[in-house]
Structure 1
């Protein structure tokens, strides 16, 4: 399993991610390690680690001897990634409903309650962290290490867009209500209902996809559709 980034690198990754998705650093922009280190008042080591994390999420392209640049992602690529993500997470929920232990189900309820607290307060960043833990409890509940790792890797690639999406008005509470349907099905041991509820939660299409694209800055959308 890939080690988690250090706290400073993780903070830099999140800040750069926000700047990219908010249009401050449009697609094609060069990300110079020295200038970024100076800008954030840190050494180049956490900057380099943050750029690697962003590259893993396809937000940044690392070019040999040329450095890093903000990536160009097409709408089709983004939609395809969400389609794969929905299938993986749906399968995880299905297996978790069949395989989760009593202790794991208690853990799921605990993190679900954490999500509710942050959703009611409208704290998108805190909700995202709790939301990630919620999904990872379900991944672990599959008792399938390969599926767990594959799903987590796919989720990491979509992390910036999923986190950005939570800032849409009312999205955190809507997300929590969708979680509740997943939790109810898993606790009932209803594998098919759990898979269906998770697919509904993760699938991004129709108005939801339109809302995500419209929320992105104009420079980013132009690059995605070019």
Structure 2
């Protein structure tokens, strides 16, 4: 698949995920490829790839002869996933405090500063992309490929839910402030503080998403 095709599919997957999470596409409804292609002004090829990506996150089920069906994701299911994500990312932060190289620490510091500018501009799209880069620095900075691979896989599964949090009022600023605590601990080499700060951050990500989901339409 070409780079352009992959980019279209990823963007489309994000847009469909937003429509699912805001209730436009309700649980149990069928997502027809022709309907989605017409709705988003594209061909069926990126639609098909986007649906495969969403199936990997659990947002939809791909069923024989029925196609894509919007899944019902319960709070209990999300709780299990976010607890696992929190423990993995907290471990990455703890190990990063011990293992990050000076260059990696500097990259983390620079990215944190640049994300502050995005908060000031209220640039949700750019902050969302930078947020992925921010957490990726811990996956690589922990210097443990097994833990890193597990964290990346689970993050992909939770990506639609983590991205949705930024629609909540004031969430960008709160996220950046939470990041600052993690960064401060890592730069100070305080492994236990880094672990605690990241664990709290991921739990607040879950809280922000649940708060957003419970807002009446």
Q: Give the alignment's TM-score, normalised by structure 1.
A: 0.88
Instruction: Please say if 1:61 is aligned against 2:61.
Output: yes
* Kept in 1: contact 2:165–2:205 (CA 8 A): no
**Backbone CA RMSD of aligned residues:** 2.1
Q: Match for residue 143 of structure 1?
A: 143
Q: Match for residue 173 of structure 1?
A: 173
1:216: how far off? 7.2
Bigger RCO (CA 8 Å, 6+ sep): 1
1:56: how far off? 1.2
Q: Aligned ranges for residues 146-157 of structure 1 at < 5 Å? A: 146-157=146-157
Q: Measure the CA separation in 1 of the matches of 2:216 and 2:92.
A: 29
* Secondary structure of residue in 1 paired with 2:167: coil
* Kept in 1: contact 2:116–2:176 (CA 8 A): yes
* Secondary structure of residue in 2 paired with 1:215: coil
Unaligned runs of 5+ in 1: 218-226
Instruction: Please say if 1:88 is aligned against 2:98.
Output: no
Q: Measure the CA separation in 2 of the matches of 1:13 and 1:62.
A: 14
* Kept in 1: contact 2:22–2:213 (CA 8 A): no
User: Which piece of structure 1 moves more, 82-91 or 61-70?
Assistant: 61-70
Q: Match for residue 224 of structure 1?
A: none
Q: Measure the CA separation in 2 of the matches of 1:205 and 1:17.
A: 17
1:47: how far off? 0.7
Q: Match for residue 102 of structure 2?
A: 102
Q: Measure the CA separation in 2 of the matches of 1:210 and 1:101.
A: 36
1:26: how far off? 0.6
* Kept in 2: contact 1:30–1:68 (CA 8 A): yes
Q: Deviations over 1:129-155 (max 9, x none)?
A: 111100001110011112111111111
Q: Deviations over 1:168-198 (max 9, x none)?
A: 1111111101101111111111111100110
Unaligned runs of 5+ in 2: none
Q: How many residues align?
A: 215
Q: Match for residue 159 of structure 2?
A: 159
Q: Deviations over 1:17-66 (max 9, x none)?
A: 11111111111111111222233222221111111111111111111232
User: Which piece of structure 1 moves more, 73-82 or 87-96?
Assistant: 73-82
- Structure 1 pair 216–115 and aligned structure 2 pair: CA distance change class (3 A): farther
Q: Give the alignment's TM-score, normalised by structure 2.
A: 0.92
Q: Measure the CA separation in 1 of the matches of 2:45 and 2:205.
A: 38
* Kept in 2: contact 1:22–1:216 (CA 8 A): no
* Secondary structure of residue in 2 paired with 1:23: coil
Q: Match for residue 75 of structure 1?
A: 75
